[in-house]
Structure 1
Amino acid sequence: MSYGRCFTAWRAAAGSHWDDYVRHRFVQGMADGTLPRQGFLNYLVQDYRFLIHFSRAWGLGIVKADTLEEMRACAATVDALINLEMPLHIRICGAEGITPEALEAAEEAPQNLAYTRYVLESGFSGDFLDLLAALAPCVLGYGEIGARLAQEAAPDTPYREWIDTYAGADFQRACHEAGALIDRAVAARLGDAPEALPRWQALERRFATATRLEVAFWGLGLA
C-alpha cells in the first residue's frame, strides 16, 4: 500500500520497525480472530484517549501550516478522527457496557502518554514537517493494516467492524489525502530532491520513533 512518495521512503527507512508495527501479534490476532476480547477492549479504551490527543496534534497542524490548503487538509483529518474513528470506539465499547463517560475518564497508560506527548512535542518544538513525520505512522499505518486485513482476515473474525472501518473508502481517502499533504509540504519546503538533505534524515528518524511507539501501543492489548 502506498500513500505517496515520502511515506514510501520513510516506511522503508524504518526497516524492521515497520513490520513489527503492521504485522504485530495484536494485528494478526484480529485477522485470525484469536485476539482475546478483553485485550481488544483494553486497547480500544486507550486508543480512544489516544485519539483525543491525536486530534489535538492534527489541530496543531493548522497552526503550523503555511497555506490555507495545508490548513484545510489538517482540518479534514481532524474531522475523520473525531467523526469516523472515535464513533467506532464508542459503538464497540458501548455494546460491551463501556460508556462514553468511562472512555473519557480512563487513565492513560504509560505507553499512551509516551506516544501522544512525543507527537505533540514534535509539533510544539519543531515545524510543520516535524509534526507530519510524527503523525504519519498512525494514520497511514492503520490504512495499510486495514487494507491488508480486508483481504487476508478470516471471514468469521469478530473484529470485522474494526477492519472494515480502516479498509473503508472514507478512511482510505483520508490516508491518500494525508500522504499527498506530506508530499506537497516536503516539496514546498525542501524542494524536489529532499533525500539529499540532512533534514530528510531527521524526518526519517521522527517517523521511525513514532513507529516504535506504535509497536509499544499494540502491547496494551496483550497485557
Structure 2
Amino acid sequence: MPPVKQTLPDIATPGSLFDRLRAASRPSWDRYVRHGFVAGMGDGTLPEACFRHYLIQDYLFLIHFARAYALAAFKADTLSDMRAAARSMSAILDLEMGLHVKYCAGWGLDEAAMQATPEAQGTLAYTRFVLERGLAGDVLDLHVALAPCIVGYAEIASNLLADPATNLDGNPYADWIAMYADPEYRVVATAQVELLDRLSTTRGGEARFKDLCRTFDAASRLEAGFWDMGMGLLP
C-alpha cells in the first residue's frame, strides 16, 4: 500500500544532542537529506539505473553496518548496552539484510551478484569512516557517526511525505518512502536520538561537543556522497 501524504513530527526532541549536532551541521545535513537523488525519488523522476546502483551499494553497506554494531558491543561498558548492540547486529544480519534482498529482487537484483559487486568509493568512504571513529574513539563517537544514517532516513521520508512536489501515484520509489516513514522505523530512529543523549551524559558529551560536531558533519557529508555515488553511477 503506498504511503499517504502527511506531515510527521520531527524525530529529534528540541535541545537533544542530535538536534544540536544537526543544527551545527545544517549545510551538510541539508545537502544530504534534500539531495537531488532524494528529490528524484519523491517525484518519481530518478533514473532506475541510479536506484539499482544505490540498492547494490546499500546491500554492501549493511554488511559494514553490522560490523559497526559488533564494535559497539566491544566498546560498551555495560551488559545492557552490549546486549542492545548485539540485538542490533542480529537484526541487520538476520532480518534487515533478508528484507533488503527481497526488496532488491523486485528490482531484478540477485544477492550473489550484489555480493560480487566491488564497493564503490562512496560506500568505502562512509563505512570505513564509521568504523574508524569507533576504533579511534569510544561508543559515543561511533553512534554519532552512525546517527546521520539511522535518523536521516526517517527525516528524508518525513520530508518527502510533506513535500508538495512529491508524487506517490505510480511512483516506483513509493515503497522505499513508506519503509522509512513506517512507525516501526521511526521507533528505531527515535531510540538512536535517545541513545545519543544517554551516552553524552555518561561520556562527557558537553565537553566534547565540538569534536562530536566534526564527526557528525563529516558523516552527513559522506551520506551526501553516497547519494552522489548513486546519482552519478560512480564506481
TM-score, normalisation: structure 2: 0.87
- Counterpart position of 2:225: 216
C-alpha separation in 1, matches of 2:152 and 2:87: 18
Q: Superposition pairs for residues 167-206 of structure 1, below 5 Å?
A: 167-190=181-204, 194-195=205-206, 197=207, 199-206=208-215
1:131 Cα deviation after fit? 0.7
C-alpha separation in 2, matches of 1:53 and 1:36: 27
- Check 1:169–1:81 CA distance in 2 against 1; reply closer, same or farther (3 A cut): farther
1:79 Cα deviation after fit? 4.1
C-alpha separation in 2, matches of 1:96 and 1:64: 38
Q: Residue type of the partner of 1:202?
A: D
Q: Over residues 115-142 of structure 1, what are the superposed CA-to-partner deviations in whole Å (9 max), with x where a residue is unaligned?
A: 1111101111111111111111111101
Q: Superposition pairs for residues 82-93 of structure 1, below 5 Å?
A: 82-83=93-94, 85-93=96-104
- Counterpart position of 1:65: 76
Name the SS for the 2:154 alignment partner: helix
Between stretches 147-156 and 37-46, larger displacement belongs to: 147-156
C-alpha separation in 1, matches of 2:68 and 2:210: 22
Q: Tell me, yes or no, if the aligned pair for 2:11 and 2:189 is still in contact at 8 Å.
A: no
Q: Superposition pairs for residues 1-223 of structure 1, below 5 Å?
A: 1-4=10-13, 5-83=16-94, 85-152=96-163, 153-156=166-169, 157-190=171-204, 194-195=205-206, 197=207, 199-223=208-232
C-alpha separation in 1, matches of 2:36 and 2:102: 24
- Check 1:42–1:145 CA distance in 2 against 1; reply closer, same or farther (3 A cut): same
C-alpha separation in 2, matches of 1:79 and 1:60: 13
Q: Tell me, yes or no, if the aligned pair for 1:26 and 1:222 is still in contact at 8 Å.
A: yes
TM-score, normalisation: structure 1: 0.91
Gaps of 5+ in 1: none
Q: Residue type of the partner of 2:217?
A: A
Q: CA RMSD in A?
A: 1.6
Q: Residue type of the partner of 1:3?
A: A
- Counterpart position of 2:3: none
Q: Tell me, yes or no, if the aligned pair for 2:53 and 2:230 is still in contact at 8 Å.
A: yes
Between stretches 111-120 and 71-80, larger displacement belongs to: 71-80
Name the SS for the 2:203 alignment partner: helix
Q: Tell me, yes or no, if the aligned pair for 1:70 and 1:181 is still in contact at 8 Å.
A: no
Q: Residue type of the partner of 1:154?
A: N
Q: Tell me, yes or no, if the aligned pair for 1:21 and 1:211 is still in contact at 8 Å.
A: yes
Task: Answer 1 or 2: which has greater helix percent.
Answer: 1
Q: Residue type of the partner of 2:167?
A: A
Gaps of 5+ in 2: 1-9
C-alpha separation in 2, matches of 1:23 and 1:84: 28
> Matched residue pairs, number?
218
Q: Residue type of the partner of 1:174?
A: V
Q: Tell me, yes or no, if the aligned pair for 1:137 and 1:210 is still in contact at 8 Å.
A: yes
Name the SS for the 2:108 alignment partner: coil
- Check 1:84–1:163 CA distance in 2 against 1; reply closer, same or farther (3 A cut): farther
- Check 1:79–1:171 CA distance in 2 against 1; reply closer, same or farther (3 A cut): farther
